[in-house]
Structure 1
């Protein structure tokens, strides 16, 4: 039994001994009866007797810790929790297994079904987002620097130029951004870097153009992934200096850069040529030495917006790049294993009372990621619906990976949740805005048939059910007695 539920039971037991009227409300009674009984309770304050006469005055003057005026709210929450527990246990009885479901209302977990960790699929990105926003300033912008050991003389730059990657996952050309189905795409415009260099008065560029991707390691894909993820390009090849997700071909079929950083600077040279600059340089990849002069920089959108893009679009490349940056910032290791260990520690520190998740990658593609629904819902509750964190969640029938779903459903525009999908896995976790407040939830289904819509249908029925739950005072409990529509 969870500590909060145990405390609630102890409180009701104590109230039953002191107030027979309270004891008369049985938790097996109907929700409507419990609400009416709670609303009728108006009894004197319950005060602990003073231990000595000298303490009497201070005890009387101090605000009582428990007043019977609060008993209706206590009973309302207890009855609500009992009702939801019974209802959701029956509601989820036929779901594929293993599965889990957690529901929070008013900052309290009112239902937790399925205590064992499950495979979260892309809902894992909630963990990556939480770790990123914890270890980094949400307003920080990631910087790609252009450094040189030479000066521009009479329009000529003759020397060596390094382009130093800052871990920005959203550097894109306009044509690549336009190729995405959902528009507009948040991006760091590659063309701006070329424009800024031309703006320095460069007409001729000779010498060397070197890519520096040393901020992160150069393992292109998480080593725990199966080869099919690489072949299918579920993520682009990873680099601290990356362009277009490392995707070189995207008009007909996808193809990836074998050396993303080299391809970045080669594309930069081409963009300069298009802008009339004569470019004759040797392309290379190496770490930049110290003591160079910055001649240009390219800054990303604020980190909060990058995180929101990752959640809204379920962007695997962004998630994996951010995980490496988390590892660099918190443990000095810009690698997938370093980032996974750091993210696991960071989010566990945020929720010390929850079962620690197993973090293997940032995107949720790896089936070794494991987490409980209680952890996911508690994480959502920790940040809240008004946070930078929740702002990135897709909205049903409106944005991101939910833009094409729930169109004729009552949850349209009211459901804000991260989606997850792998073979045999359907997951949904976020917030449902009801007429009276917000219900926070996490649902993860493992063992879902690979064909058909069962997983999606169970998400849709859950969203409809959560819309019924009231968020408020004891009087609202009466609405729980309404049949499911």
Structure 2
């Protein structure tokens, strides 16, 4: 009997060991051992069908490469693509760069408070612009200029040109808040958040908008039902492409946690104009004609009436990287494209890519090693190498604005709940990246007894859940925090 029990215990222990990656040890790791330790993790049985790329070097003028596992091969970087956008935006646009949203006209209001020849909304793609502060402030400024009535309608103008959605994004993503359209007329992140909560068994699920006043013209077809506590969760939310309709179906178990989500707005420009019209009415300013977006027969305005500036770029990239905000990254990429205009294509997205290539050439990183299709990392056509990411991070290692934008292990951002109760707490500044079957972590590690190292760890082509892949990524990252001279 004792032999049988012992055998069962051994089998259970073996199964646990093979089910999860090996846990990090408390002993130190010699730099000369790092390559072997990285390969040990990469050769874990469940990673055998996958591709693992790792590149680690010291952060110094003449860096020493400590580990290189397929570091010069292409990988899909997922949200690690944001590292290129934010770092190069800081270098090209500057930490103090601000987006501006304007209300303009051809003249000041007359003695009756009437503004002739219409009002112009001039957008630059400020990702942080919102109804509560930006829009209200603009209209208040307009009112303070004495405007009581707008004759001639409202028009739009922007210098941003080109695609507002990457052509390689997956169709199913386009309805989601994280794939919001990168419009120059962005407001409230071009999305509306919602909550679905269970009721009692047999009753419809409870749907609520976070800001009902922003969803007045949306239709919700709520077909979802509350199930018993042990029923299978099958809630599904669909927005037919291009429509302001949500179709909710499936079952949400009784007493389960509310489901939080958001939906992308199909026409951001029309949405911005509608919200502007509502705010004008709320502050007592009338418009003589229906709002229009047709500018073909109008001359551009030359009179500033109201202006709202975004926070400086040094603050915007914190949201971009720490929270991994896709819309911020996409609009920053287009702002890069707006900086270079002379002898360039009339497409901010394409010129933004050219700007990235120029910077990579300046740091002696072959542009061919980084092929981006978007700014957010949502596209699976993005390709880069772990070495290229590390070289980029090396070029901005002393830029404190960039460093502050990265999540800190077990402290904030997308790393808030990672590396808890490990030696890596607070010692890693990095950018996460997650797509189905593709995961990444790149940044800086500060071992207590070793100089800082710069790293990039990417896993592609996996059928494992993202949570399981994180364990392997984190095990390699933990090795870096245990480095000691030997």
Aligned mate of 2:362, from 349, 358, 362: 349
Aligned mate of 1:303, from 305, 313, 329: 313
Q: CA deviation at 1:270?
A: 1.2
Aligned mate of 1:408, from 409, 421, 425: 421
Cα distance in 1 for partners of 2:422, 2:143 equals 52
1:113 maps onto 2:41 in alignment: no
Quick one: higher RCO (CA 8 Å, sep 6+), 1 or 2? 2
Between Structure 1 and Structure 2, the one with more helix by share is 1
Distance 1:336 1:450, change over 3 A: farther
Secondary structure of the 1:240 match is coil
Q: CA deviation at 1:104?
A: 1.7
Q: What do residues 114-173 of structure 1 show as CA deviations (whole Å, max 9, x unaligned)?
A: 131111111111111123223212212121222112322346233211111122122123
Q: What do residues 23-63 of structure 1 show as CA deviations (whole Å, max 9, x unaligned)?
A: xxxxxxxxxxxxxxxxxxxxxxxxxxxxxxxxxxxxxxxxx
Cα distance in 1 for partners of 2:365, 2:471 equals 34
1:128 maps onto 2:138 in alignment: no
Q: What do residues 323-361 of structure 1 show as CA deviations (whole Å, max 9, x unaligned)?
A: 222223234544433433432343243233686211111
Aligned to 2:53: 100
Distance 1:220 1:382, change over 3 A: closer
Aligned mate of 2:447, from 415, 420, 434: 434
Aligned to 2:128: 170
Do 2:441 and 2:473's aligned partners in 1 also have CA atoms closer than 8 Å? yes
Q: CA deviation at 1:262?
A: 2.6
Cα distance in 2 for partners of 1:258, 1:106 equals 45
Secondary structure of the 1:420 match is strand
Do 2:444 and 2:454's aligned partners in 1 also have CA atoms closer than 8 Å? yes
Q: CA deviation at 1:373?
A: 0.8
1:448 maps onto 2:404 in alignment: no
Question: Segments of 4+ in structure 1 off by > 6 A?
Answer: none
Secondary structure of the 1:210 match is strand
Secondary structure of the 2:55 match is strand
Q: What do residues 284-325 of structure 1 show as CA deviations (whole Å, max 9, x unaligned)?
A: 124573452111111111122222221111111111122222
Do 1:241 and 1:260's aligned partners in 2 also have CA atoms closer than 8 Å? yes
Cα distance in 2 for partners of 1:254, 1:370 equals 28
1:231 maps onto 2:175 in alignment: yes
TM-score, scaled to structure 1: 0.72
Aligned to 2:148: 203
1:274 maps onto 2:316 in alignment: no
Do 2:104 and 2:301's aligned partners in 1 also have CA atoms closer than 8 Å? no
Number of aligned residue pairs: give it: 380
